[in-house]
Every structure is written in C-alpha cells, then in structure tokens.
Amino acid sequence: MRVDQLAAMANAHLSHRYTFEVALAPKSARANACRRFVEGCKGAIVIFHKSAASNLGPELRASLKKVAAGICVDHLDVVAGPFEPGFVDVHLAASYESERMLCKGLPALDPTPGAQVRHLRHHADPRLVSGSAPVSGFKLGYFGLPENVVLPSELAKEAVVPGYNGKGDVNAFIARLSEANFHICTRDPSSALTRGILSSKPFTKGFNAAVIGANVLVNRQVHDAEYYLGADYPYFVDSTDVSAISEGVERASKEFGGAQWGMAQTRMLDVARQVAPSEVMVELDKILRLF
C-alpha cells in the first residue's frame, strides 16, 4: 500500500518535476541483479521501504551511496536497519509520533552530521469510494487483523467484521469498509524498543474511515489519533478494556444523527482533507527538494 500507491500518486501529482519507479532491492547473493540495481539508481533519489536496503549488504550499499543523488529510508511502522553511518540522508516517518521518536533516537540510529528526519504522512487507500459509508442507521464495523483490536464478543456478533488476514481478495475487503459508518480503531500500541527507539504505526484505519465518511471509536493511546481528531473528539475511550469499548459503542449508537455525531463527522472530514493525495505530495515534494 505504501510503496506502489505512493509511487502512483507521485507520478500523478509530481510528474512535471520527477519520474517515479518502483524496484525490488535484490539480495546481495544475486551479484548481477545488484549491479543492475545500483546502475539503475545512478543520479536518482532512492527511497527504501522499511529494511529493503538490508538486502544489498554493506558493499553494495557503499556503491549505491556513491552514485545516488540521495538515499531515504521510509521506516513506516518499524525501525529499519541498522545501516552504516552516513548511508541514509533522510529518515522518513509515516506518523508524527514516529517523527518524534526518530528525532529523539537519531544519535543512536545514525550519528552522522547532516542526517535528517522528515515526516511523510500516510495516505488512505485510493481504492475507497469517498463518502460511501451508510447515511441511515448506525452500522458498526472493524476492518483489519483480528489480533490488532480488542473487540468484545457481543459487539463482534452485530458488527461487520470481514476477518481479513492479509491474503485473499483485497479489493473485496476494501469494498466492505463502506458497509459501516462507525469503525472500531482501538488497539494497544507496541511498547517494544529497537535500538532505543519506539516504532509507531500511522493512523491508517482512521484515515480510511475518514475518506468513506465514517466516524471511529479509538483509544487515546493510538499514535497520532489526538493530533488528527482533536483531544475533544467525542468518541475517544481511555483504554482498550472491554467495558470502555462497549460503553463507547453504545454511546455512539445512541447519539447517531445528533450533535455529537455531527461534530465527529466534521472532524473526520478534516482528517480526510489532511491525508488527501495532494497533501501527501506536498510533503514528498519538500523532501525531494532537499537533494
């Protein structure tokens, strides 16, 4: 989602200045493929997804560093690497929480003078139909990996839960997001540290819900949720306890169509605006202009 879709958006919005291509970073054991990869990157700004640059090995990374116009690593929801000091020019963060963590941990991540951290917000899935959520009646849904949400069993029975496992017909799964107008986005963020840095996931479930016009139930611990929604968003819960989630869903159901529901819709409309392709491309353009 982050790589192919981002490249397509970039070609649509920034083609007057750049050409964008997607390539697989070959394993270092494939010597000929690696040489072709490095040759193809001459004069290019190379953005590696997560730890893709690890495939090349230190010698080929050194060769790439000599010929590329610039090298970025998009950490997304992990802390990529480790890489040789000075290999990465710009570390990309897909969330504001990740940006804070990477900036704080930059001395351990890459102590080379001049290494930078920049925010490149995540986008909503472009296959979603804008404003397609139901407008009549309260319809609950959860869309994602089951292990990433605390969903009380009684709510699971009445909610739209496609049970996506990362495989199968992705387009059919994406289409089902429009069956609900209240999406459960609760989760417990990871507390695991990598080289002293906390990895952070972007608020993509919230972004997807915003595009189709659905409100969300989300706990305050979800990274970036308060930034995008505002601390007074009406459907925050303080934890992922079953009782908190059940109470939040019940409250939203009772308030459907009322003032609080309308306030939440206004906030979600603003989230959709903030993660529109044009806004994402403004950030990408600023990053590319560093080189």
Residue 49 lies in a domain: yes
Residue 132 lies in a domain: no
Do 170 and 83 share a structural domain? no
Do 148 and 116 share a structural domain? no
What would the DSSP string read from start to end of 133-201? S--SS--EE--S-GGG----HHHHHHSB-----S-S-HHHHHHHGGG-SEEE--------EETTEE---
Q: Give the pLDDT band of residue 154 (cuts 50, 70, 90).
A: confident
Host domain of residue 252: 140-274
Do 60 and 163 share a structural domain? no
Q: Are 184 and 200 in contact (CB under 8 A)?
A: no
If one counts the domains in the chain, the total is: 2
Do 283 and 188 share a structural domain? no
* 232 token code pair: 């007074």
pLDDT at 156: 80
Do 179 and 220 share a structural domain? yes
Do 246 and 258 share a structural domain? yes
Average of per-residue pLDDT values in the chain: 93
pLDDT tens digits, one per residue of 120-144: 999 999 999 999 999 999 999 999 8
pLDDT tens digits, one per residue of 98-117: 999 999 999 988 889 999 99
Do 144 and 118 share a structural domain? no
Residue 134 lies in a domain: no
Do 249 and 216 share a structural domain? yes
CATH code assigned at 265: 3.40.50.2000
**Mean pLDDT in residue range 77-86:** 93
Q: Are 25 and 48 in contact (CB under 8 A)?
A: yes
Report field, pTM of the whole predicted structure over 0.85? yes
How much of the chain exceeds pLDDT 70, in percent? 98
Residue 133 lies in a domain: no
